[in-house]
Structure 1
């Protein structure tokens, strides 16, 4: 009977595969959340165990040799198959809820109010975490992140497009009670630190001349929207953040919501199409957001009396 081949360290194999895929030791270190030196030691350990070098080492860089490239290709497929096997194992057991990271105001104003509808229509259970900016999927144990694509997306992530973004000013009904949209520009402008150029960008997109008026600045959009509801001024907000309040009669949008050239996406560290839960959630959310966009964008919007 043939003796089984002694396998090298799994950590060493992972470090080498990541270094080969990123083409740098630092890229592998960032992905695996270890130091550059740790990856270098793991790769050296693997070469020692295999009895041959996998990189051609030069003064300032390491280049995969032919044998290293062949091994890296096979290891990439092996790790992909392993990840798929574990996903299938979890799907065949108790299905855990999806962990969703969502920008705070979008989470508060759009996603959380829709969770009941999501459960009825798809049967999905989700856990929602309010967060914005970069995300560490492995460390934070997040399945999907909903983000506005106004940044360079990591090429290692998988992306599902949801909907174009559209913005416009909203105010309390009392501020446009006379039916004149021009009163909007006499109101205090409510700004946010998260999108400090929202007013400037919307005015540029619509070609409307800017007028001098006082300003108030808030840390987050949900604070600016709350101030708008209280009649303290006008806030430029995402249609997805304001649609619910408009339909409830808490806000009105005397001017157009306008596409601003960005879009919302779902991001995942693994292929979304290979996971029924992720694919179902993304398709459901994309459909919901695009219905909102079709309903509210590029026409005058006033809540029903």
Structure 2
């Protein structure tokens, strides 16, 4: 995949205070890239620099190979963005709102407006006034506005703020579909761990203006060994039996815990069963994004204070 957005050693100082400190990452076409961190970590400041709303103190931001600082017009033409909240005329219909934005772009046709409406699933309500829209519908209309000029990258700052669970799922599903169908690079900032885990392909974790980590949300190849928890009728005996076969196990609130390669699993089950130990369940324990986030940020905090 090709990098659409690149940040290299980007820093931002305001009144002598470093808000963003030497940030570097890239975003590829067709992926949903999460920008995760607590409130005040610097997510919105970074987004504002990417879209040119505030200047860069040092470093380089490029969009489709065009420098935001040196070639702003050609860089920003590839970007659709909603920073904080979509700005809409509530007394107009959804379609009239899109027409207002369309007038700012040369060569905009009715077909392009209709395509954006269909993409975000607003065909049934597009001619209703925006004041009758739910928060989720307003977010989708804002996304439609951002897509009118066929951008290569879509940037959304906290897009699920204030939405109910149904609205959050709605936005999440549309973003996943847009990335796949339009081959868009989508950058989503949030502090909601569970939503980022379900929405994103990769996540950059930012803390106090510094990039802590960039990682895959789902990576089935990340480890050869997996942690298993086995629910058995006699945990202490199970541990002793496995130890006799050079397999290390430890006690767990649900039975015993083992670190195994996949081919070892049938052997473990056979050993337990042939020694009259009943096995009620065996499952893989995976670290959630929340576990990894807390682990990474706590390690960073300890290192910073050392």
TM-score band, normalised by shorter chain: under 0.3
TM-score of the pair, normalised by structure 1: 0.24
Structure with the higher fraction of residues in helix conformation: 1
TM-score relative to the length of structure 2: 0.24
Q: Greater strand percent: which structure?
A: 2
